Structure 1
Amino acid sequence: MNLRSLLPSMLIGAVASARSMTPMATLAAARVAGRGTTGELVLLDRPLFKYGALAMGVGELFGDKMKSAPDRTVFLGLLARVASAGIAGAALAPKGRETTGAAVAVATAVPLAYLTLAGRKEAMAKIGQTRSGLIEDALVVAAGAAVVAWATRN
């Protein structure tokens, strides 16, 4: 097992650091498109969870622009990142290495949540909450889609 085989897990952890629901939403979109993952992802094979993950991903993009949106580093925000990164990291890991993939994704997501928050706060001070959020959304969703597309290619 080389480090490169866990790169998709690490990258999806980076995505989770900025948007907790994006990893699950991008995996759900891949499932809708008929793409499989190397690791197990049983829940997203069930329609309720698959479409629920898509809805939560979209909802998070809207909720992030609210003035009352909490920082991503509050307990529940970190918990959501741990869960999402862990599930997505396991799904993108090589078969039989799901636990390692989950650990790598979580180990990437949590510290990067603090760095991405610092960057977002700096951007908010310069261009405002909504504009900085829309730019971050575009970057994070594109990154999530790219990671999942790369990791699930045939």
Structure 2
Amino acid sequence: MALPGLIPSALIGAVAGARAMTPMAVLAAARLAGGRTPGRLFLLDGPLFRSGALVLGVGELLGDKLRSAPDRTAPLGLLARTLSAGIAGAALAPHGRERAGAVLAVGAAAPLAYLTLGGRRRAMSRMGQTRSGLIEDALVIAAGAAVVAFALRRR
């Protein structure tokens, strides 16, 4: 299985570029619903990890609406996106290709953080921080859920 099998990994990296914790929260929700990821990743089997991922995902969505929320391209934001993308990219990669999936996801996350920040700033100037954030949340959650559902169905 060459590059096409790694497409979900790259796409989940793009999701991480917009929302750092969404990939982990969507994966945790899929695991709670009984879904199995193609890549082997022991972290997803731990109840503490799954619960933490869901809490962090919701917390990020709420915190993003605060005026004091840092840009997604701040060093800690990029670190969180990189870690989340790598873990999720590995989980969605075909078994035995987890490392390649992680690399692709990380490679997509950082540039997409800058690209989505530019789009969000333009949207904020037109409709405000909260409204633009809610629209972005809906798009990112839908994209993350679609990528994970596609990857789990292909398994």
Report the TM-score when normalising by structure 2: 0.98
The alignment partner of 1:152 has SS state of helix
Within 1, Cα distance between the matches of 2:41 and 2:25?
13
Cα separation, 2, equivalents of 1:74 and 1:50: 26
Residue number in structure 2 paired with 1:19: 19
In percent, how many aligned pairs have the same letter? 71
- Give, in angstroms, the shift of residue 49 of structure 1: 0.6
Residue 2 of structure 1 deviates from its aligned partner by 2.1
Q: Distance in 2 between matches of 1:112 and 1:96?
A: 26
- Output the CA distance in 2 between the equivalents of 1:61 and 1:22: 9
Aligned counterpart, 2:113: 113
Deviation of the 1:38 alpha carbon: 0.9
Alignment coverage as a number of residue pairs: 154
Per the alignment, residue 126 of structure 1 pairs with 126
Which runs of no fewer than 5 residues in structure 2 stay unpaired? Answer: none
- What CA distance in whole angstroms lies between the structure 2 residues aligned with 1:32 and 1:41? 15
CA distance in 2, matches of 1:65, 1:38: 34
Q: Which runs of 4+ in 1 moved over 4 A?
A: none
- Alignment match, 2:143: 143
Separation of aligned partners in 2, 1:41 and 1:63: 28
1:52-71 correspondence runs (5 A) = 52-71=52-71
TM-score, normalised relative to structure 1: 0.98
Q: Does 1:75 align with 2:45?
A: no
Deviation at residue 3 of structure 1 after TM alignment? 1.6
Tell me the CA shift for residue 108 of structure 1: 0.4
